[in-house]
Amino acid sequence: MLKKNLLALAATVLLAACATSPTGRSQLIALPEAQIDQMGLQSFAALKTEKPISRNPQANKLAHCVANAITGQIGGNWEVVVFEDASVNAFALPGNKIGIHTGLLKLVNGNADQLAAVVGHEVGHVLAKHSNERASQQMAVQGGMGLLQKTAFGQSSPQMLGLLGLGAQYGLLLPFSRTHESEADIIGQKLMAKSGFDPRQSIALWKKMSQANQGQAPIELMSTHPADSTRIQDLEQHLPQALALFEQARAAGKQPHCK
């Protein structure tokens, strides 16, 4: 019975996995995009009430200039907010929302190309529907654990059930998240290049990030982010294609003046 239930779950998951990411990777997308967008809108609205918003004109000018250039490649109306937060971070949410922390602006120190690498990366998550895929993965895992709980195997061995939950976390969810991060890196590098930002600065940024980590980042196996060295290697591998897009953008007159 257990085998039959698991096979039924696997068949359901395979039928649902019919989407393809911008890089050509197969995806499990099980939720309506409108629902994911609404979740993004609600989350962003909550953040704006919980976190202080920067009114620094220079910070806002740089952030909006870079974000507008990036999102201009994909269309839509995007809201950009600079948050007073010392952490080196930025994010983009479904529903066309972008948040940039002042800690990131301090790190890039006015380098618009490096900021574009981060913004492009975060927008890449939205373009690739990573939030939907992430939620769909969690639904599939929870559904599988629910099936096991209904079997004699699951009922008679709660310790084994707990180990299976741990295996699902580190064997499925975190590796997929690292895949998302790597995919967003490549999408972001292309986006910044198409916008007229120098894609070589994406590599310079992650080298700077690596130095800022000072060995404090978690090891890659237990992390949702690829190791800095892995990121840099992947970006270097895709750099020739990004440079070609950059040259095309500059030839077409795309040269953002974000200071």
Q: Per residue of the chain (259 residues), what is the pLDDT tens digit?
A: 544 554 454 455 445 557 888 877 877 787 788 888 898 899 999 999 999 999 999 999 999 999 999 999 999 999 999 999 998 999 999 999 999 999 999 999 999 999 999 999 999 999 998 888 888 777 777 765 565 455 544 444 555 445 445 555 545 556 668 888 899 999 999 999 999 999 999 999 988 888 877 656 665 555 667 887 888 999 999 999 999 999 999 999 999 989 7
Whole-angstrom distance, CA of residue 105 vs CA of residue 258: 13
Whole-angstrom distance, CA of residue 49 vs CA of residue 47: 5
CA atoms lying within 13 Å on the CB side of residue 210 = 15
DSSP for 126-139 reads HHTTHHHHHHHHHH
Residue 258 lies in a domain: no
pLDDT on residue 220: 53
Q: How many domains is the chain partitioned into structurally?
A: 1
Q: pTM of the prediction? A: 0.82
Residue 256 lies in a domain: no
Closest among 77, 76, 91, 94 to 39, alpha carbons compared: 94
Residue-number span of the structural domain to which 38 is assigned: 2-251
Residue 153 lies in a domain: yes
Sort strands 79-83 and 97-101 into parallel, antiparallel or unpaired.
parallel
Are 27 and 19 within 8 A, CB to CB?
yes
pLDDT on residue 2: 46
Residues belonging to the active site: 122
Sort strands 90-93 and 97-101 into parallel, antiparallel or unpaired.
antiparallel
Burial 166-201 (b: 16+ CB within 10 A, else e): eebeeeeebebbbbbbbbbbbbbbbbbbbbbbbbbb
Residue 145 lies in a domain: yes
Q: What percent helix, strand, coil does the chain show, rounded to 5?
A: 65, 5, 25
Residue 82 lies in a domain: yes
Residue 166 lies in a domain: yes
Are 125 and 131 within 8 A, CB to CB?
yes
Residue 210 lies in a domain: yes
Residue 259 lies in a domain: no
Closest among 69, 102, 98, 60 to 83, alpha carbons compared: 102
